[in-house]
Amino acid sequence: MNKPLTWTSFQVVNKLKWLIKQHPSLIVEGQKIKPKIGHAGTLDPLATGLLIICTGKKTKEIEQYQAREKEYTGTFYIGATTPCFDLEKEIDVRYPTEHITKELILQTAKSFEGIQQQTPPIYSAVRINGKRAYDLARSGEEPEIKAREVELKEVEITRIELPYVDFRVVCSKGTYIRSLARDFGLALNSGAHLTALCRTRIGEFRLEDASTIEGFQSQVQ
């Protein structure tokens, strides 16, 4: 599926579950069969793009799909940060950018390629003692999140028009592009946050082959 902007991944799952349940094939002896359905990898509400949906017996393979290599495109805003590293919250701090050149941006992008330790955002679905980090953060706590090993296989800069920098990233499971935005800003001796993000590939599955909510709805009706 191509997840729409502002939708949560769970909203997509719930919408598809409702549509599937309306299909006549799921009514047996007057009773509706409850379909199993789940997604293989969360996308933030402000991100768009590829969301793999598993149904029926395929829900047992969700972890296999989650583990596959992923590709994203998006935009960093250089010179300012937000508490959640994207546009969900307002800018909290601004930083100097006069020293930032095209060459520095390109060199910095290359420096992120390879295996590294990355700390997820406090506004994320990471579990800490059984609770989601974002729930703790929204209640006023500052959860301590441990860094995890990730691999950035490709970090390509596709456009530089400061304060905006467009990119393409190929990465391993568990990589947070919002964290990459934070770390990218720090590496530039400045600050940065994410203003746009689209997941374009998961393993061999590509966004151009994905269905929209409207397209799927027309197929099952």
| Cβ atoms of residues 106 and 166 within 8 Å | no
| Cβ atoms of residues 181 and 47 within 8 Å | no
How many Å apart are CA 64 and CA 32, to the nearest integer? 29
What are the percentages of helix, strand and coil residues in the chain, rounded to 5?
A: 30, 35, 40
Kind of pairing, strands 27-28 and 70-78?
unpaired
Which amino acid does the sequence have at 77? Y
How many Å apart are CA 141 and CA 128, to the nearest integer? 12
Per DSSP, helices labelled H in the chain are 9-21, 62-66, 102-111, 133-138, 177-187, 213-220
How many Å apart are CA 21 and CA 83, to the nearest integer? 39
* C-alpha 155 chain-centroid distance: 16
- At which residue do the structure tokens 């998006």 appear? 74
Q: Which are the catalytic amino acids?
A: 44
